[in-house]
């Protein structure tokens, strides 16, 4: 796919029934995605400037400017912790789980005996849903029936105590995330031209130098993809904490705040939308980075 063929026929050359078929093939999926993803995204932004309570008709809603946003930042106690928790989540994924995954990929790439087994065990958690991961770790964390307390005799409720539960969730989440990153990175490593390493070795570079000076820079695109995947997954973290306690009591995340403001009894649509919009804004920065990398690669 080195050069994109320039001799493609444009749509102008397609006539009659074919033209209708082509337009339909494009139109149906586009309408679906625009209607169920982009329109709602804009809807969230729009609603965030209103005071709609979600009960009366939407025409009753008034535009109240940025009041929802000032409320979020000033008089909504869970917001500060949620931002902090999302940030801690990101830091742990970024500085521990992701590098660990990359490191393990590099080790597995050395092809020592049994590497197939190591690879499989590491990414086995990736096929499990994060909700299920929460339940599986409950057997380790539970206060009365958990493994940790069974071994140490402590009586800490790892999922319940707000001093520990974020970290407990992070360990469980890292368990899955590491395998995922390992897999992505391993695929990248396998794609590195072996002659590069050979050349570095001939030049007398140590293995460590070869990795950091030759392999790592060549993997720049996948490094960035791994980074963006990490950021977006951290921002989207939801299932795991939702099954633990619906994101309360030390486990507040932006995603759970949005959800509980909408599906809870006191549905506050405008306010929830402001939270949703904040989330959209943060993620769109990283999505933009991701798209730039992916499509720049693509047009090469």
Partner 1 sequence: MSIGSELPQVAVSGRNPLTAKPREGGPADKSGRKGLAIFLAAISLVWLFPIAWAILNSFRDYAFTAKNGYVSWGGFTLDNYANAWERANFGHTLINSALITIPAVILTLFLSCCVAFVVARFSWKINILLLGVFTAANLLPPQSLLIPVYRMFRAVEVPEWFSESGTLLNSYAGLILVNVAFQTGFCSFVLSNYMKALPRELYESAVIDGASVLRQFWQITLPLCRPPLAALATLEVTWIYNEFFWATVLLQSGDKFPVTSSLNNLRGEFFTDNNLVAAGSVIIALPTLIIFFLLQKQFVSGLTLGATKG
CA 217 to chain CA centroid, nearest Å = 24
Given 93, 102, 140, 214, the residue binding partner 1 (CB under 8 A): 140
Tell me if 168 sits within 8 A of 160, measured CB to CB: no
Q: Which phi and psi angles does 142 have, rounded to 5°?
A: -50, 145
Q: Is 291 in the site for partner 1 (CB under 8 A)?
A: yes
Q: 259-268: long-range contacts (C-beta < 8 A, 24 or more apart)?
A: 262/54, 267/53, 267/54, 267/55, 268/53, 268/54
Stretch that binds partner 1, among 65-73, 74-82, 280-288 (CB under 8 A): 280-288
Residue of 82, 102, 130, 200 interacting with partner 1 (CB under 8 A) = 130
> What is the C-alpha separation between 227 and 285, in angstroms, rounded?
13
Compute the Cα dihedral for 258, 260, 262, 267 and give only its sign.
negative
Q: Please say which residue, 43 or 65, places its beta carbon nearer to partner 1.
A: 43
* Phi, then psi, of 169 in degrees rounded to 5: -65, -35
Q: Decide: is 273 part of the binding site for partner 1 (CB under 8 A).
A: yes
Other beta carbons less than 10 A from residue 29's beta carbon: 10
The one segment of 67-75, 77-85, 265-273 that binds partner 1 by CB under 8 A: 265-273
276 binds partner 1 (CB under 8 A): yes
Nearest approach, Cβ of residue 158 and partner 1 (Å): 6
Binding segment for partner 1 (CB under 8 A), chosen from 28-36, 59-67, 70-78, is 28-36
Part in contact with partner 1 (CB under 8 A); list of ranges 60-68, 71-79, 113-121: 113-121
Structure-token match 């994060």, residue found: 130
Q: How far is the CB of 80 from partner 1 (least distance, A)?
A: 19
Whether 163 and 242 have beta carbons less than 8 Å apart is answered as: no
Return the range that interacts with partner 1 (CB under 8 A); candidates 24-32, 59-67, 73-81: 24-32
By CB under 8 A, name the one of 72, 83, 108, 200 that touches partner 1: 108
Report yes or no: 62 and 207 within 8 Å, Cβ to Cβ. no
* Closer by beta carbon to partner 1, 73 or else 290: 290
For residues 97 and 104, what is the distance between their CA atoms, to the nearest angstrom?
10
Q: Which of residues 37-56 bind partner 1 (CB under 8 A)?
A: 37-41, 43-44, 47, 54
Does position 255 interact with partner 1 (CB under 8 A)? The reply is yes
Per-residue binding letters, 55-94, with partner 1 (x by CB under 8 A): ----------------------------------------
Candidate segments 66-74, 76-84, 274-282, binder of partner 1 by CB under 8 A: 274-282
Which residues, numbered 176-205, are part of the site for partner 1 (CB under 8 A)?
179-180, 183-184, 187-188, 191, 201
**Applying CB under 8 A, which of residues 82, 83, 214, 269 lies at the interface with partner 1?**
269
Contact 148, 71 (CB under 8 A): no
Q: How far is the CB of 236 from partner 1 (least distance, A)?
A: 5
Question: Distance between terminal CA atoms of the chain?
Answer: 9
Q: Rounded to whole angstroms, what are the CA distances from 190 to 97, 117, 122, 160, 174? A: 21, 17, 17, 42, 24
């Amino acid at each position: 796919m080195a050069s994109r063929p320039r001799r493609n026929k444009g749509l102008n050359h397609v006539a009659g029934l074919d033209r209708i078929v082509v337009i339909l093939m494009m139109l149906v999926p586009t309408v679906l995605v625009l209607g169920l993803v982009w329109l709602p995204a804009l809807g969230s932004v729009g609603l965030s400037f209103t005071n709609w309570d979600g009960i009366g008709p939407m025409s009753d809603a008034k535009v109240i400017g940025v009041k929802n946003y000032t409320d979020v930042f000033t008089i909504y106690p869970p917001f500060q912790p949620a931002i902090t928790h999302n940030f801690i989540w990101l830091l742990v994924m970024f500085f521990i789980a992701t590098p660990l995954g990359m490191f393990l990929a590099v080790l597995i790439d050395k092809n020592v005996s049994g590497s197939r087994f190591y690879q499989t065990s590491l990414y086995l958690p990736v096929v499990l849903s994060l909700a299920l991961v929460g339940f599986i770790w409950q057997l380790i964390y539970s206060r009365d029936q958990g493994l940790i307390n069974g071994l140490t005799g402590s009586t800490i409720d790892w999922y319940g105590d707000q001093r520990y539960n974020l970290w407990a969730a992070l360990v469980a989440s890292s368990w899955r995330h590491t395998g995922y990153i390992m897999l992505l990175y391993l695929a990248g490593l396998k794609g590195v031209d072996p002659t590069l390493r050979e050349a570095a070795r001939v030049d007398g570079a140590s293995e460590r130098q070869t990795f950091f000076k030759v392999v790592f820079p060549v993997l720049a695109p996948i490094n960035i993809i791994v980074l963006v995947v990490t950021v977006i997954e951290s921002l989207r973290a939801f299932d795991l904490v939702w099954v633990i306690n619906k994101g309360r009591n030390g486990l507040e995340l932006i995603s759970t705040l949005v959800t509980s403001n909408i599906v809870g009894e006191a549905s506050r649509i405008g306010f929830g939308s402001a939270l949703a919009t904040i989330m959209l804004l943060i993620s769109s920065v990283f999505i933009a980075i991701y798209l730039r990398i992916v499509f720049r690669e693509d047009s090469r």
